[in-house]
Every structure is written in C-alpha cells, then in structure tokens.
Amino acid sequence: MIYLHRVIVEDSEATWKIYWFNPGILSHRRYIKKIQEEIYKVFPNETYSWADPAHQCFGYHLKDNIIVTNVCGSNDENLHVNKRYVELKDQNEIYYNKDFVCFYYDLDNKKKWSEVYYKRDDNPEVITKTKLDEGLNIEWMSEYYNDEFEKTGQNLFITGKCEDIYKWIDKQNINIPKPFKNPIGMDMDDRPIVDNINTENAIKCEYDTEGNLVKLKFFGCVLRTKMKVKGEFSHLELSSGYISSINNSEQTEIVECNYDDYGNRVPSTIIKKIDDYIFFPKARENGEYERVLLKDM
C-alpha cells in the first residue's frame, strides 16, 4: 500500500505531503514511472544516484506544482552491491556518501534545487549563532543547493518539547511565523502503529548561509493503525496528534483519534480512503498543470 509518510506544516497549514512507495510492487513502480515522466517532461536530462529509477519516496506541494523525491546517497558499498547501478552517475559530488538527497522540481517555473541530508556521524559545522538549549537535540542536518550546486542554506531538525523549541527560536527571530500558533505535543513514544519508519516529530529550522533563521517547518510523522470492527479488520487509519492544529486538515487523509467510553481506540467518525487524497500535478496539452488523483494518472 502507498501510504502517507510525512506531513510538512508551515504557519498552521499542511504544505507538503510525502508518500512512501514499495518499488518491489509492480503497481507502485507504474505510479513511480508516471510521476517521473512528469519530471522528465520539464527536466529531460535529469539523473539520480544508485537508487534510480526505483525511488521509494515522492511528495508534492499542496498549493504549487512542485514535486519532491528522495534517493539514497550513493557510495562505494552501494555501487558494489548493486551492479546494475554502477554506470549511473551522481549529478554532483556533493551527493556522494550522504544519508539521502531530496530533489525538488518546480514544474511551473522550470526550477530545481536539492537538499542533502548528512549521515549523523558526518554532520557539517552548525552555522546558527545561538547555542542549543538544554533538553533539545539536533535529530538530522541537511543543506540546500541550487541548480548550480551552490549552497544556499543549512537546516537543523530539532527535537524536544515544543515549548522549549519555541523559546530557543525566539532567541534567534521572535517575529518568525511558527509552524503552529500554540505549542503541540511532539512525543512519539506511545504509538500504536504498523511500522517503525516514522520515529520522530521535529521542527525544521532553515538558515541562510550567514546563519540567520529564515523559515520554520514542522516535520511531522503519521501514525498508521489497523482498525477493527467487531474483532475484524476494517481499514487502515492515519492519525496524528497535531491534525487538530492544522487549518487545512480536509486536504489530508489524517483523522483525529477516537476512543470509546473505556478508553479503547475505535474508528474515527470520519473514514477517509487513502487513495482519494493522493494528488500529483499532471501537464495538460497547453502546458498548464492540473491536480490528478495518482490512481488516475
């Protein structure tokens, strides 16, 4: 099943949805190919790393016609194990020996940029001018690069209590819009989920090359729970603790958790079919884009 992997929130609105595909499933590979075809229409000479063309993650912006995909960073070990990828080349050496890389494609404006995620034992020097407060952690680090492979910024993914993160942010830029108007609970320890891929909620702090904090995003997990009715499997429900704090929750397949009088988890009063919420931009003959259900692409 294709499922929602991450939700990005800015100023109380979901702005990105990231999906997890299984390239080992033929139907998923067909969907992946259709999404990639839209990218190749605008960027016909695009190449990736050793994971090409079986990407596992694709996402899209909820307002703009921008697609994002990520691939694992290539290295000698991966190239050695996967012989058929040896002839594939990275676009630039900055993508080599990294944890993974996100490629962003603005289809309307024909612009692209990338985001390099570092391995945790090989992070670059932190450029923020404000020391991290006690109780906060840097979960991941990444850097943005433009289409000329010039660094345009650094990103820190901060975990801890939301209130403490907001206080630390205010020391740097008190006027910057927060992902949520009021702090939310970010703890993921008690989660009745199907898989353990989504492990941490984090607030993404984006800095320019001078170390100035310029943007905040919430990097949110989605909980996957098998729901039962009268002891039998009914459907897979996606939920999160932050969905009630999002102004455009109707654009997501996420529901609020529902419980009976005894505190047992029961299906939400609103049942959302996941396939009805996956829209990707598709080019029309006149070059403009329309949002099309993935299953109809």
Look at residue 195 in the predicted model and tell me its pLDDT.
42
Q: Highest mean pLDDT: which of 38-47, 191-200, 206-215, 223-232? A: 206-215
Residue 183: inside a domain: yes
Residue 293: inside a domain: no
CA distance 259 to 265: 4
Count structural domains, the chain.
1
Residue 292: inside a domain: no
- Assign residue 287 a region (left: φ > 0; alpha: ψ between -120 and 50; beta: otherwise): left
Residue 244: inside a domain: no
Residue 35: inside a domain: yes
pLDDT band for position 95 (50/70/90)? confident
CA–CA distances in Å: residue 100 to residues 16, 129, 147, 274, 295: 18, 26, 17, 26, 27
CA–CA distances in Å: residue 235 to residues 221, 228, 238, 240, 243: 19, 7, 10, 16, 19
Residue 129: inside a domain: yes
Q: Are 248 and 27 in contact (CB under 8 A)?
A: no
Residue 247: inside a domain: no
Q: Are 47 and 88 in contact (CB under 8 A)?
A: yes
pTM of the model: 0.90
% helix, strand, coil for the chain, step of 5: 20, 35, 45
In 146-253, which ranges are E strands? 151-159, 202-207, 213-221, 223-229, 232-239
Buried b (16+ CB within 10 A) or exposed e, 133-146: eeebebbbbbbbbe
- Assign residue 162 a region (left: φ > 0; alpha: ψ between -120 and 50; beta: otherwise): alpha
Which domain covers residue 70, as residue numbers? 3-192+200-222
* SS3 call for 168: helix
Higher pLDDT, 129 or 254: 254
Give per-residue pLDDT as tens, 174-206. Answer: 999 999 998 888 765 444 443 444 467 899 999
Q: Answer yes or no: is pLDDT of 113 > 60.
A: yes
Residue 296: inside a domain: no
Which of 77, 112, 109 has its CA nearest to residue 96? 77
Type of residue numbered 14: A
Which of 214, 252, 258 has its CA nearest to residue 234? 258
Give per-residue pLDDT as tens, 232-254. Answer: 888 889 988 899 999 999 999 99
Q: Is the peptide bond before 53 cis (omega within 30 degrees of 0)?
A: yes
